[in-house]
Amino acid sequence: MKVIRTINEMQQLALQCKKENKSIGFVATMGYLHEGHRKLLSSARKENDILVASIFVNPLQFGPNEDFERYPRDEEHDEQVAREEKVDVVFIPTVDEMYPMPMSLRLTMARRANVLCGKSREGHFDGVVTVLTKLFHIVLPDRAYFGLKDAQQFAVVDALVEDFNFPIELRGIPTVREQYGLAKSSRNVYLSEEEREKAKYIYQGLQKGQDLIRAGEKRKEIIVNEVSQFIKSYTHGKIDYVDLLTYPKLEDINTVNQRVILAAAVYFNQARLIDNVILEENGDLSFTE
């Protein structure tokens, strides 16, 4: 496994792979790798000649009062996980390497970003598409892999690839969960033992909404209210949102009549957790193994 820290070296390696007609699979991460990342890497490993993973905590997608400075980091652990998952190249640039001077251009999301997490994290997805635009140009992937726990991010990246004609095939990988349903996340380390026990009810609440749709309930208002009440009843967390939107366009609806995302975000003492289910009109999961 090769560790690369400069843009120039990463680009040169990617260009050489292109000359040799080797396909590149890419997993962009902010590090502190867990089982969810392993699933992305494993999926990418099966489908590509060269597997590249990036580890970069991107300051542009953190707000002024968010956890950029304390975001968990463990480069030694991450490199070990990458070796175990047979990653060929780990790209670990510094902030100065990625942003040596203030950006002259600014990417701003016009759609898909002003709902769900984007509603309370102004500018977050602008930072996401900016860093991914840079990474896509640096790594030159044929396929890029993203976890569907961050389903809004996947929808945003889908728009980026489509709008800017990146020759990249996107792969959405279903959420990896802990034993009782809690979605794997690097931020789970912020949870107390009691909060971790309660956090499982976020997913159970979403499952309750899914069951309602399967049973024939189509009214958004009813579904969202039932999920919200369930989460309030079983956790001490503060609900940021529970919402039901079309997917991947993330447009508002009153009635379930197409593919939708049922999503929630809940604040605990030191962590904000997100989760979702992406469902067909009949309530079946859209993305399965």
Q: How confident is the model at residue 289 (pLDDT cuts 50, 70, 90)?
A: low
Q: Which residues are documented as binding site for ATP?
A: 30-37, 147-150, 176, 184-187
| Alpha-helix residue ranges (DSSP H) falling in 20-90 | 35-47, 75-84
Q: Is the pLDDT of residue 144 over 90?
A: yes
Mean pLDDT taken over the chain: 95
Question: Residues at the annotated binding site?
Answer: 30-37, 61, 147-150, 153, 176, 184-187
Burial 163-187 (b: 16+ CB within 10 A, else e): eeebebebbbbbbbbbeebbbbbbb
Task: Show the tokens assigned to 200.
Answer: 């499982």
Q: 64-112: per-residue pLDDT in tens?
A: 878 888 888 999 999 999 999 999 999 999 999 999 999 999 899 999 9
Asked if pLDDT for residue 252 goes beyond 60, the answer is yes
Residues annotated as catalytic are 37
**Assigned token pair, 179:** 């034993």
Domains, in order of start, for the chain: 2-173 (3.40.50.620), 186-279 (3.30.1300.10)
Q: Provide the residue type at 248 as one letter.
A: P
Q: How many CB atoms lie within 10 A of CB 103?
A: 10
Q: Are residues 77 and 33 in contact, defined by beta-carbon separation less than 8 angstroms?
A: yes
Q: Summarize the annotated binding site for (R)-pantoate as residue ranges.
A: 61, 153
Least confident piece of the model among 141-150, 181-190, 199-208, 240-249: 181-190
* Cis amide prior to 64 (ω within 30 degrees): no
Its pTM stands at: 0.92
Structure confidence at residue 178 as a pLDDT band (50, 70, 90): confident
- Does the pLDDT value for residue 207 go beyond 90? yes
Biggest CA pair distance of the chain: 58
pLDDT number for residue 241: 96
